[in-house]
A = this chain, B = another copy of it.
Amino acid sequence: MGNKPLAVVVLSGGMDSTVCAAIAINQGFEIAGLHLNYGQRTEKKELDCFNKIADYYKIDKRLIIDFSQLSQIGGSSLTDYRLDVPEANFERDEIPNTYVPFRNALILSMAVAWAEVLNANAIFIGAVEEDSSGYPDCRRIFFNAYQEIINLGTKPETKIKLYTPLINMSKKDIVLTGNSLGVPFELTWSCYKSNTIACGECDSCALRLRGFYQAGINDPLLYEKKIKFE
């Protein structure tokens, strides 16, 4: 086991990051799991999922970083509880208020710092361009530029490759890929609103449910209310 290359995987506890971890494992990496608490409403549930998923994959190296103080910065309904989480809208033009400013840059900076200390060879992050509600830091072009930052901002002997295996996938593709890799979907959490039973109505629930519907696979999670697709 010790001879496998090491990858830091950003593991929120959600479906996408879990499929991303499964891909890294399938590519032969040993995994170190990084979980970020940035003060979102559903952190309690997500942390619980993170630990169950890490147990499932026998991940020993775990790092949980609490920067819930991001909520001091405000500007997002995920961390600023005075704002309402909007219901799903596939036709929306503007960036929704669930956007956490520059979140992926924050997450990556923690991942790179840890990867450098661990002498890891790779970072995996399950960002998705198409289904990302237009968040600017979910785009491939952003991650390509971030690779340059990693190369320039770490020690000369550090070589860390940034992988975004889901970047061009639809939620349907993610469900199908996860299914083929045996991902335990029942341990993953996507809902933006709830810590108990998924609401089934927020953007994140709706995208997940549509993905399962289009893949023709049953989502094993319980939902308060399921959007109907046809």
Contacts and interface: CB of A to CB of B under 8 A. Distances in A.
Interface of A: 63, 65-67, 69-70, 72-75, 95, 99-106, 108-110, 112-114, 116-117, 136-137, 139, 141-142, 145-146, 148-149, 152-156
B117 A73 contact: yes
Contact of A102 (B63, B99, B109, B141): B109
Contacts of A100: 113
A117 B63 contact: no
Contacts of A108: 105, 109
A123 B121 CA distance: 31
Contact of A149 (B73, B105, B112): B105
Contacts of A70: 113
A144 to B, nearest CB: 9
Given A109-B102, A149-B105, A136 B117 contact: no
B105 A109 contact: yes
A146 B117 CA distance: 22
- Copies per assembly: 2
Summarize A's interface: helix, strand, loop or mixed: helix
A139 B154 CA distance: 11
Contacts of A63: 72-73
Nearest to A106: B109
A172 to B, nearest CB: 27
B104 A153 contact: yes
Contacts of A113: 70, 73, 75, 100-103, 105-106
